[in-house]
Amino acid sequence: MTDPLPDRDAERFLRIARMEARGRLTVYLGAAPGVGKTYRMLQDAARRQAEGIDVVVGLAETHGRSETAALLEPLEVLPRGAVEHAGRQLEEFDIDGALARRPSLILVDELAHTNAPGSRHPKRWQDVAELIVAGIDVATTINIQHIESLNDVVAGFTHVRVRETVPDNIFEHAELILVDLPPDALIERLQAGKVYLPDTAGRALANFFTPLKLAALREMALRFAAHSVDRRLSDELATNVDKADFVAGERLLVAVSAGKGGARVVRQAKRLADLLHAPWTAVVIESASARAVRGSQREQLADTLALAASLGASLMTVAADDIGAALVDQARQLRASQIVIGKSRRSRWFEWRHGSVAQSVIRRAKGVAVHVVPLDEPDEKPDSGDGPYMARDNLLAFLLVAATVGMLHLGLPWIALSAIDLILLLPVIVAATRLRLRAGLWAAVAAALSYNFFFTQPYHTFFIHSPAEIITFGVLALVAVVIGGLAGKVRRQAQTSAGVARHNASLARFAGLMGGLSGKDETARVACREIGGLLDVEAIIVSLEDNEIVVRGNDAYSRIDVVDEAAVRWAIENGVATGRDTGTLNASDWQFHPLKTSLGTMGALGLARPSQERVIRPDDAVMLASLVDQTALAHERIVLEGQARQVDALRERDRLRGALLGSIAHDLRTPLTAVIAATEAIPAEGDYAEEVRIARSESRRLQRFLHDLLEASRIEHGTIEPKWESVDMTDVIASVTRDLRQEGPEARVVTHIESDCPFVSSDPLLLRHVLINLVDNALKFSPTASPVDVELGCSANRVLCCVLDRGPGLPQETGALFERFQRLEGGDRVGGSGLGLWIAKNFVEAVGGTITASNREGGGAAFTISLPVPAPRGGQDGSADA
């Protein structure tokens, strides 16, 4: 019968079994459009096909690039599927055809793409996920700004929020291939027209494709790819059948002890970490000797840990008896490449008796560099503060042996002499298990001597004449010492395990309590009570509200003095610990720890200890960090719940406001139509000609405003349903100029229309409404005598309609222009309801187009509508980059 698989082998077997049943995902990641992701994917596909792999192109966007299209010729391309939507046929990736064809590898471009309404899945990444579950390998492409967790970060410095995102868990088991291109080279490609058309390229260079933004995107892509590789390597090492005695990348682990030279070791590790640009972790091994440290050495250990934290190290406490083995095991778990440890001056006799931690680490650390920092100061004898307890334990051990000997004397008539040596082992085991290891060893010596003195001939002497008795005495002494040592070791391990269990149970209980609370006062009160009890301190929660200090959680400390206020403000504003026992404003009676969350710093946790000893003991540092994090998360949850309630209230308010505005617009529509008809019937002649023209103009403007309100109500209720038909944009532009009375020699609107622009599939009424808003804005915000240009052009697969004015231009931050009720308050750009651009954006997106805004060189603003051109059946169209 064979032994069962070890845990690691079983886990690896199950992991391999799960992965074999699924397809593999390969993602070509780029920092920006145009770096060549699709091109690289097709190149690799051709190589895989040459190796005999069944490769099929499910969807690939060439964007009119001949060199990319040439790579498609030797590959099998699946026909696209037709999706019926609002009387129009749209073409999307055919997932059913891919599942029926079932190739070994399928290429599906543009992972973040949003599928047409009516498709099986709303997002293309969901199509890819279904293919992977079906056991088909998939290769795809994506830009870094489409990754969900990075969306806010990218929007923060590009001022462009990408709407199509992919959740991060898609990449959990994916192989990432970074397609990289330096910013200068990418800009050269853009200028050469290899990414966008010349007009679009000019706007992109002015807004998105700047060297600084591209460099930031490139750094994000490199970091994301490196993190993905690191995560996959960690997973492989965790379940590898072979012992993983290697590391990749630089990570440092520094051993921190209570010795005098701990600060020197930490500083050496910091210098090494800076030299290698590597993260580092300070580890304290809680052995029996370390837990026994008291007095000045405990203060020294706390100072060393505080120094390590201030220098940027992560702190970690590990409970173990074998310090060397624990350090090496922790280095394996952290995948540290180098260990930094100090070695004090000790006598050869000391190292022979107790061994050397540094030598132990060097012997065990296969494949890990060990830096030994020589320390001139000899280690002091640990100040355990339990000398009286040691003497008491030794005395108790001696009394146990004496009592056992006395009972043996009384029971000699009934006890065989051969059993006496075994009975004398009992007090040794009891002393080593219930008392200390040294007490057990003293009991072993006393038991051996008692056996010799009382139970071997000649009695009541320490002389032994019989060789058999000498052997019995030696064996008894040896067994007693071994049993005493083993029992003491088991006792220490049990104490260590109990301490770890208490630590985990305390954290679990605290998390459970904090998770069920609502309200800042209640959360602060429970947090302060529990933290105070766990760490034996006084605790408060301090926050800044309207720049005023608010203290919660402890009724006995409802106010703090001026020094404490300065310390807590510094902690909240700078995100670092301040106050007592820290390097900042340590005159304060409190030690403040910032409650940092993704929403910012929620406040600070204040801790104080009435006695003169340190506020936080070294062995409580790790628990404190966990408690601070959980307290911060509890406060963040309260804020988010409050914001969610506010959002619900705002949503309800917006719904009521939309209903009210829609009702008012409907009620005013009929009388306004009558007013317009009446003003049109009045001749614009005589003394009141100017007044009649003003009445006509303002009534038409009021009619457009009411129309905007009605359209806004439609958008909010989701009732926009485009009526698809083939549209000639020339007719739409002519209709707009006619409606705005911009025909004839006095017209300010000048049109520039290319003669060979194709028709687009769209809704002419929606497009007409969009252009009316844009042109009317341009006329209103431009100087009276300046013209407004309307340009119509086309590319291989897009029709571009631009409205250009010569006004004061747009604000620098153009990302919010298309938000609801966002008014153009820049220079002469004032007035309006703030609905026009929002409506325009929603209408353009409803017909599958995009709208962008930018400033023109030399002054003025440009609004560009981009509409897709319907491709022939089976054609290759698309809108994303290669």
Q: Is residue 511 part of a domain?
A: no
- 736 touches 770 (CB < 8 A): no
Per-residue pLDDT for 679 more than 50? Answer: yes
Tokens of 774: 């844009």
Q: Is residue 185 part of a domain?
A: yes
Confidence of residue 643 (pLDDT cuts 50, 70, 90): confident
Distance CA(69)–CA(61), nearest Å, equals 9
How many folded domains does the chain comprise?
5
Give, for 552, the enclosing helix (H) or strand (E): strand 548-552
**End position of a domain, from candidates 719, 736, 767:** 719
**Which residue type sits at 548?**
E
Tell me which of 96-105, 679-688, 863-872, 873-882 is least confident: 873-882
Confidence of residue 358 (pLDDT cuts 50, 70, 90): confident
The residue count for the chain:
882
Distance CA(157)–CA(217), nearest Å, equals 10
- Mark whether 742 and 706 lie in a shared domain: no
Rg from Cα positions in the chain: 39
Per-residue pLDDT for 813 more than 60? Answer: no
Distance CA(609)–CA(580), nearest Å, equals 10
Containing structural domain, residue 658: 519-719
- 316 touches 329 (CB < 8 A): no
**End position of a domain, from candidates 719, 744, 773:** 719
**Cα–Cα separations (whole angstroms), residue 217 to 180, 195, 248, 395:** 11, 17, 25, 72
Q: For the domain that residue 820 is a member of, what is the CATH number?
A: 3.30.565.10
Q: Any bridge partners for residue 103, and if so which?
A: none
Q: Any bridge partners for residue 867, and if so which?
A: 799
Q: Is residue 746 part of a domain?
A: yes
Per-residue pLDDT for 849 more than 80? Answer: yes
Nearest to 41 by CA among 141, 111, 170: 141
468-481 residue pLDDT tens: 666 666 666 666 66
Between vectors from CA 381 to CA 377 and to CA 383, what angle results, nearest 5°?
120
Per-residue pLDDT for 206 more than 60? Answer: no
Q: What values do phi and psi take at 854, rounded to 5?
A: -160, 165
Question: Residues near 684 by Cβ (< 8 Å), separated by ≥ 6?
Answer: 692, 693, 696
Per-residue pLDDT for 783 more than 80? Answer: yes
Per-residue pLDDT for 40 more than 80? Answer: yes
Average pLDDT over residues 565-589: 82
Q: Is residue 59 part of a domain?
A: yes
Confidence of residue 203 (pLDDT cuts 50, 70, 90): low
Per-residue pLDDT for 537 more than 60? Answer: yes
Q: For the domain that residue 654 is a member of, what is the CATH number?
A: 3.30.450.40
- Mark whether 734 and 711 lie in a shared domain: no
Helix 689-716, helix 621-681: angle, nearest 10: 140
- Mark whether 318 and 260 lie in a shared domain: yes
pLDDT for the residue numbered 383? 47
Question: Residues near 615 by Cβ (< 8 Å), separated by ≥ 6?
Answer: 537, 580, 581, 591, 607, 608, 609
Give, for 551, the enclosing helix (H) or strand (E): strand 548-552
Distance CA(779)–CA(749), nearest Å, equals 8
589-603 residue pLDDT tens: 888 888 887 777 888
- Mark whether 531 and 575 lie in a shared domain: yes
Share of the chain above pLDDT 70, in %: 73
Tell me which of 178-187, 345-354, 540-549, 698-707 is least confident: 345-354
Per-residue pLDDT for 716 more than 80? Answer: no
Judging by beta carbons within 10 Å of its beta carbon (0-12, 13-18, 19+), is residue 254 exposed, middle or buried?
A: buried
Average pLDDT over residues 388-408: 77
Per-residue pLDDT for 609 more than 50? Answer: yes
- Mark whether 24 and 168 lie in a shared domain: yes
- Mark whether 231 and 264 lie in a shared domain: no
Nearest to 882 by CA among 228, 225, 66: 66
Nearest to 431 by CA among 387, 473, 386, 390: 390
Distance CA(274)–CA(791), nearest Å, equals 57
Per-residue pLDDT for 486 more than 80? Answer: no
pLDDT for the residue numbered 717? 59
Per-residue pLDDT for 829 more than 50? Answer: no
Per-residue pLDDT for 648 more than 50? Answer: yes
Tell me which of 101-110, 435-444, 802-811, 820-829 is least confident: 820-829
Give, for 593, the enclosing helix (H) or strand (E): strand 591-597
Per-residue pLDDT for 34 more than 70? Answer: yes
Distance CA(589)–CA(557), nearest Å, equals 12
pLDDT for the residue numbered 812? 56
pLDDT for the residue numbered 3? 42
Tell me which of 11-25, 67-81, 797-811, 820-834 is least confident: 820-834
Tokens of 251: 């990570």
Per-residue pLDDT for 247 more than 80? Answer: no
Tokens of 234: 């960690």
Judging by beta carbons within 10 Å of its beta carbon (0-12, 13-18, 19+), is residue 55 exposed, middle or buried?
A: buried
**Which residue type sits at 343?**
K
3-state SS class at 360: helix
Between vectors from CA 313 to CA 308 and to CA 315, what angle results, nearest 5°?
85
Q: What values do phi and psi take at 789, rounded to 5?
A: -95, 135
Extract the runs of DSSP E, i.e. beta strands, from 287-368: 314-319, 338-344
Nearest to 327 by CA among 269, 287, 379: 287
- 701 touches 738 (CB < 8 A): no
- Which long-range contacts link 757-760 to residues 24+ away (Cβ below 8 Å)? 757/729, 757/730, 757/792, 757/793, 757/794, 757/799, 758/794, 758/799, 758/869, 759/726, 759/727, 759/728, 760/726, 760/727, 760/729, 760/799, 760/867, 760/868, 760/869, 760/870
pLDDT for the residue numbered 881? 44
Confidence of residue 170 (pLDDT cuts 50, 70, 90): confident
713 vs 792, higher pLDDT: 792
Q: For the domain that residue 27 is a member of, what is the CATH number?
A: 3.40.50.300
**Which residue type sits at 321?**
D
The CB density around residue 484, as the number of other CB atoms within 10 Å, is 27
Highest average pLDDT, of 302-316, 448-462, 584-598, comes from 584-598
The CB density around residue 87, as the number of other CB atoms within 10 Å, is 10
- Mark whether 126 and 199 lie in a shared domain: yes
Q: For the domain that residue 297 is a member of, what is the CATH number?
A: 3.40.50.620
- The answer, yes or no, to whether the previous bond of 374 is cis (omega within 30 of 0) is no
> Residues 315, 321, 325, 331: what is their CA dihedral angle, to the nearest 10 degrees?
-10
Q: Is residue 514 part of a domain?
A: no
- 710 touches 75 (CB < 8 A): no
Q: Find where tokens 């004839």 sit.
A: 744
- Mark whether 472 and 427 lie in a shared domain: yes
**Which residue type sits at 39?**
Y
Q: Is residue 111 part of a domain?
A: yes
520 vs 831, higher pLDDT: 520
Tokens of 104: 């070994």
- 549 touches 560 (CB < 8 A): yes
Per-residue pLDDT for 33 more than 90? Answer: no
- Mark whether 678 and 549 lie in a shared domain: yes
Q: Any bridge partners for residue 83, and if so which?
A: 90
Q: Is residue 382 part of a domain?
A: no
- Mark whether 534 and 676 lie in a shared domain: yes
**End position of a domain, from candidates 375, 410, 427:** 375
Q: Is residue 339 part of a domain?
A: yes
- Mark whether 674 and 758 lie in a shared domain: no
Per-residue pLDDT for 146 more than 80? Answer: yes
Please give the mean pLDDT across all residues of the chain: 76
Average pLDDT over residues 598-611: 82
3-state SS class at 462: coil
Distance CA(874)–CA(882), nearest Å, equals 19
Q: What values do phi and psi take at 27, rounded to 5?
A: -115, 125
3-state SS class at 776: helix
Confidence of residue 2 (pLDDT cuts 50, 70, 90): very low
Residue 863 C-beta-side C-alpha neighbours within 13 Å: 24
Q: Find where tokens 């706007």 sit.
A: 203
Name the strands in the sheet holding 591-597, side by side, starting at the edge strand that comes first in the sequence: 548-552, 538-545, 600-608, 591-597, 578-579
pLDDT for the residue numbered 239? 54
pLDDT for the residue numbered 85? 64
Extract the runs of DSSP E, i.e. beta strands, from 304-353: 314-319, 338-344
pLDDT for the residue numbered 553? 85
- Mark whether 683 and 744 lie in a shared domain: no
pLDDT for the residue numbered 390? 64
Tell me which of 99-113, 384-398, 861-875 is least confident: 384-398
Nearest to 670 by CA among 721, 705, 706: 706
Q: Find where tokens 């923060």 sit.
A: 156
- 217 touches 31 (CB < 8 A): yes
Give, for 166, the enclosing helix (H) or strand (E): none
Confidence of residue 418 (pLDDT cuts 50, 70, 90): low
